[in-house]
Amino acid sequence: MREDIEFDAEGVTLRGWFYAPDDAGSGSHPCIVMAHGFSAVKEQHLDDYAEVFAAAGLACVVYDNRGLGASDAAPGTPRQEIDPWAQVRDYQHAITYAQGRDDVDADRIGVWGSSYSGAHAYVVGAIDRRVKAVSGQAPLVSGRRSFESLVRIDQWDPTWEAFAADRLERARGGEPAMMPVITEDPTAPAALPTPDSYEFFTRTQRDRAPSWRNEVTLRSIELFQGYEAGVYLPLVAPTPVQMVVAARDRLVATEAATDAYERALHPKRLVIAPGGHFDAYTGPGFEVSSGAARDWFVEHLGVGKVG
């Protein structure tokens, strides 16, 4: 069963869905807190994951990141601005919301994320001991490394200069610079300039998520390139941590994720899903990624125990 929800994140209203377990009766249940990756909104397949989790006895809080989809932006902050640290804090607000529900067991909270939010899941798991299990799929682990692989080397200096110019313009009261998330031409400037990014966002906007917008602030890219979530992986322990990587991920680099996984401490588990970055959301990749996360949470959150 799914219900529309909203909750406060220090003055910002975040909106999403609450999924009760399929077999929900009286008592409280373990709950997974979930948000999407870079620029994405919940309709871009997060409902599919939540349905798998709910069928296994897990409640879910699914929400849009601030300034995206159905959620509000912070006062004075433009929509389509993606601040990874604000999103980390919003995971914590979502945990608090979940813990305040009578049908959620406050002592059995897990966090799940994908791509950019996969990075957030590891950071939240490291800094917030309310979290009892973590699963991240196709995770970003190094913003600088991803920036250097997505932006041509001859464009690094012009991009850094554009960051500085944007800060000056915004300080003078001007409008923030914007850039597209995707373009059909992979050589054109975009936040995610890969063919599979273009296919995923074009398809899901058409078929599932008309609220998704193909733009982000330029500052979102500046914040992205300074986000080094992988350094938090060793700090998640003793909370159980899982990493699901795509075998041929060229957006966040499979080898970077698996290198970071080696630095995580036990208990941990690595799962390899077929295909590239976005193949985790559909077909065989979805069966592997959703099943692995479901089983991890069932194992570590005590599904079946009455709270």
Helices 156-171 and 218-225 pack at an angle, to 10 degrees, of: 120
Q: Largest Cα–Cα distance in the chain?
A: 60
pLDDT at res. 24: 67
In a domain, 88, yes or no: yes
In a domain, 206, yes or no: no
Is pLDDT larger for residue 26 or for residue 40? 40
pTM over 0.95: yes
Could you report the per-residue pLDDT of 37-63, keeping only the tens digit for each? 999 999 999 999 999 999 999 999 999
In a domain, 207, yes or no: no
In a domain, 186, yes or no: no
Counted domains in the chain: 1
In a domain, 170, yes or no: no
Residue 24, CA distances (Å) to 19, 30, 104 in order: 10, 11, 11
Domain span at residue 126 reads 2-142+228-301
Q: Is the pLDDT of residue 304 over 70?
A: no
Instruction: Say which CATH number the domain at 27 has.
Output: 3.40.50.1820
In a domain, 125, yes or no: yes
Beta strands at 216-217 and 178-179: parallel, antiparallel or unpaired: antiparallel
In a domain, 102, yes or no: yes
In a domain, 219, yes or no: no
pLDDT over 70 for what percent of the chain? 98
Mean pLDDT, the chain, integer: 96
